[in-house]
Chains A and B, each alone.
Chain A
Amino acid sequence: MNSFFQLITQHRVLASTLFLAVFPFIMPYEALAVNILIFGLFAMGFNLLFGYMGLLSFGHAAFLGIGSYLTGISIVHYELGWGTAIIVGVIGAAVGGLIMGFLAIRTRGIYFSMVTLALGQIVYYIFYKAESLTGGENGLRGVRVDSFNIFGIPVDFLNPLIKYYIILFFVVIAMWLISRILNSPLGAVMEAIRENEKRAAACGFDVAKTKLLVFILSAAICGLAGSLRALHLSIVPIDSLNYLQSGQAVMMSILGGMGTFFGPFVGAAVMLYLEDVVTTFTKYWMAVIGLIFMFFVLFFPKGIWGTILSKLQIHQDSK
């Protein structure tokens, strides 16, 4: 058992890909699997900043929203192809990350969380007010992508299983990128900043620049999740920009295990699956997840995946 976990943490991208390839078959229906895939990516992007560098942002809904809206607007208003639309969404989120990060990294600690939350609300109001482009309160409707060609092969995007694998393709690229970042010297500096910012600075690392760079990378990954979500839902709800949405990324990371590679995905899967089950019994889902979340913060701060790893004494930070 121990060596099994050792193996999958060593080959985390491969292991995740294999698992995700069979994932839709153990879920009750494909749309839920697609949702988990997208939110898993969102939480992973968030975890890059929070789990690995210790910056608790409450504004990451902004990047999910920017990705969704720009992809949606590109398709609805400018009739761009879906590939270009995704690139527009990701670049837009990265630019948003640059601006927000530039302002937010001037602060530290709890202050950082408050500032990112407030800056995220700016993005909310901008998209809320730009009604002619975004549909305002009603959200952006009609992001329809029915089918397209990949190298001449027609693909039916309405088939949920095919949709899942196309989205998985992007998620795997992003996961590989995240894994690559974490294994690079940059990843080591990130963890050094998390453990002791002053010491990292004293060692000669440019703390501010590293923070900004990781903020932008994290924003871009969340933006990709947003773009994919727009394609999946074919609408962009204005709620995707609310800070409660940022809180979802926070909750997923904590539930799964912050600072672990696969944890945020576990958190997303558990949370969305639970939501699917619980909402068939009661409409008071928010109270249920709020209580579960508080329970984890109090008693299992390492989260599900993090607790498993620490029980098996696997050091997953090095590889």
Chain B
Amino acid sequence: MTGLTFELLCMQLLTGIALGSIYALLALGLCLIFGMLNVVNFAHGAFFMVGAFLGVYFLGVTGNFWFSLVLTPLLTGCLGLVTERFLVRPLYGRGLDYPLLLTFGLSYVLIELMRITFGIEGLPSITPDGLKGTVNVGIGYFPKYRLFLIAATALIVLGIWFLIQKTRYGLIIKAGAVDQEIVKVLGVDIAKVWLLVFGLGCAIAGLSGILASPTRSVNPEMGVPILAESFVVTVVGGMGSPVGAVVAGLLVGIVYSMTSLFYPDLAELSIFVLMAVVLLIRPQGLFGKAGAMG
């Protein structure tokens, strides 16, 4: 292959990490909710899509990217709170399939709501002013926004790590994931913790939506393929493992962008093949515990 240089490979690697950042965030949100509530949020892609729409809308109205970056996850988080409180909570104790089915129905409603509000065409994505253009990263020019995306993801992941590992709330979340009965006995209102964790997961989904919006087209169906992709990340990383979610997210992003460099037609397929290989060799995922997939 002519023109294939070390620089090009590195640039493609960076692109992969930027894409993988979005995957990592999405999988992290799924993982938080699953680890705590044993619920797979099938509306996660829809929350991502709502986040992208709200982000672009607020950016267009206010012109301030940082403002919408804060407001959007707050709103999708609130939507998550309402969802948990009124739709998911009545289903606890009725079999693991029911919350999954319910959130699947919810994704239909959210897709249609965005179509009604913003039209079926979607919104033109906007790159915030300060982050337009490219910047020399030593080996070539790389889009500024994607660098920002990588940095922002690193910050968010660090923040969540800090929350879980270093604070009292994190202790409760970790304890609740191991044994909710004991946590209840110790005087923690576990229902409130579940509510907040679900909200947090949806807030992260919305945040990844607005972060991803300048790099892809914003339309009501954008959450449909991304849900499948974030499932791939979750399966590769191992269900319920936050480290696995982040590592697998980056890995899947890199595999995608490297394949699209060599065989553009196979890029979408490559990540699913990766998942199939992981299933064959290590069904519990790279960071999952054996037997913890039931």
Contacts and interface: CB of A to CB of B under 8 A. Distances in A.
A103 B150 CA distance: 33
A113 B106 CA distance: 17
Q: Looking at A103, A108, A286, A301, which has the most chain B CB atoms within 10 Å of its CB?
A: A286
Contact of B265 (A108, A121, A129, A242): A129
The secondary-structure label for the interface of chain A is helix
Contact of B102 (A284, A286, A287, A294): A294
A301 B100 CA distance: 13
Contacts of A25: none
A113 B294 contact: no
Nearest to A99: B276
B111 interface: yes
Contacts of B92: none
A254 interface: yes
A119 interface: yes
Contacts of A287: 108-109, 112-113, 116
A109 B265 contact: no
B95 to A, nearest CB: 9
B97 A56 contact: yes
B140 to A, nearest CB: 30
A246 B119 CA distance: 25
A119 B115 contact: no
A106 B106 CA distance: 29
Contact of B293 (A108, A119, A243): A108
A286 B114 CA distance: 12
B105 A297 contact: yes
Nearest to B112: A287
A173 interface: no
A115 B115 contact: no
Interface string B272-292: 110110011001000000000
A117 B100 CA distance: 13
A122 B87 CA distance: 31
Contact of A107 (B224, B269, B283): B283
B104 A250 contact: yes
Chain A interface category by residue count: 35 or more
Nearest to A54: B97
A170 to B, nearest CB: 29
A34 B279 CA distance: 39
B90 A298 contact: yes
Given A287-B112, A298-B91, A118 B231 contact: yes
A280 to B, nearest CB: 17
Contacts of A118: 228, 231-232, 235, 272, 275
Which of B90, B98, B108, B224 gathers most chain A CB within 10 Å? Answer: B108
A284 B234 contact: no
B239 interface: yes
A191 to B, nearest CB: 16
A122 B272 contact: yes
Interface in A129-174: 129
A236 B224 CA distance: 20
B231 A298 contact: no
Nearest to A258: B97
Interface in B138-155: none
B34 to A, nearest CB: 8
Given A107-B279, A243-B224, A291 B105 contact: yes
B101 A126 contact: no
Contact of B91 (A103, A110, A284, A297): A297
Interface in B72-109: 87, 90-91, 94, 96-98, 100-102, 104-109
Contact of A109 (B87, B96, B112, B268): B96
A244 B147 CA distance: 34
Interface string A271-299: 00000000000001011011101100110
A247 B265 contact: no
A293 B115 CA distance: 19
Contacts of B276: 103, 119, 122
Interface in B203-259: 224-225, 227-228, 231-232, 234-235, 239
B17 interface: no
Contacts of B87: 294, 298
Contact of A111 (B239, B265, B266): B239
Interface string A161-195: 00000000000000000000000000000000000
B105 A113 contact: no
Nearest to B275: A118
A212 to B, nearest CB: 14
B239 A129 contact: no
B40 interface: yes
A29 interface: no
Contact of B101 (A125, A250, A284): A250
A250 B231 CA distance: 18
Nearest to B104: A247
Interface of B: 34, 38, 40, 87, 90-91, 94, 96-98, 100-102, 104-109, 111-113, 115-116, 224-225, 227-228, 231-232, 234-235, 239, 265-266, 268-269, 272-273, 275-276, 279-280, 283, 293-294
16 contacts: A56-B100, A56-B101, A103-B280, A108-B294, A113-B40, A117-B228, A118-B228, A119-B276, A129-B268, A242-B224, A287-B109, A290-B106, A294-B102, A294-B109, A297-B105, A298-B102
